[in-house]
Copies of this chain bind each other. A is one copy, B any other.
């Protein structure tokens, strides 16, 4: 996976969580311009993270594009259906053991495909995404081999690939980082953590017990930072 893609336009997939916020900060620091922050509203249980994404895009001077994609209609998951419950209180070992109910079928493939469409349109040289293969929740589409296969597909799928103008690099700078690494890196790049949102539940405050809240807390603690 290329980790630097030079200057020029770039797309950043921005969910509003701490990983994608840090990824946006990295793309900004590397001098990409303009930056397009692509946020997919896909029938999440709550719109809280969309608000975070919009605020983060504004903070980093990126153009925010929010697309409504009715993924919840075709891909049931604890993140898109209120009937399916989000698991609580799991250890990171339990998280790594299997694919949880928060898995949204083919989510990253749908998101990367939409990014690819936008990238072709604006001539982006890179698509950044904040996936992570270390402190992750067991999702198949967060693995290095998956990203390599997508990059290969992108070359065959696009006019830019066929005409030899080069397809956008798929850049996942956090792929091999722990949550603590991400906290340290993001803090160095002045990510406004208070604008990010991790919780899978839809309350006014984070539940503190879902996988995402647990990983967030662990990251700050292991980085020796105050939990935010």
Contacts and interface: CB of A to CB of B under 8 A. Distances in A.
A23 to B, nearest CB: 19
B121 A140 contact: no
Contacts of A107: 117
Interface string A128-150: 00000000000011010110011
Interface string A11-25: 000000000000000
Classify chain A's interface size: 35 or more
A207 interface: no
Contacts of A159: 99, 103, 105, 140
A189 interface: no
B120 A116 contact: no
User: Could you say how many copies of this chain the assembly holds?
Assistant: 2
A186 B73 CA distance: 31
- The A interface, classified by DSSP as helix, strand, loop or mixed, is helix
Contact of A140 (B108, B141, B161): B161
Contact of A110 (B73, B75, B108, B110): B110
Given A65-B74, A116-B109, A143 B156 contact: yes
A146 B74 CA distance: 24
Contacts of A156: 140-141, 143, 145-146, 149
A92 interface: no
Given A105-B159, A163-B99, A118 B75 contact: yes
Interface of A: 38, 65, 67-71, 73-76, 99, 103-110, 112-114, 116-118, 120-121, 140-141, 143, 145-146, 149-150, 152-154, 156-159, 161-163
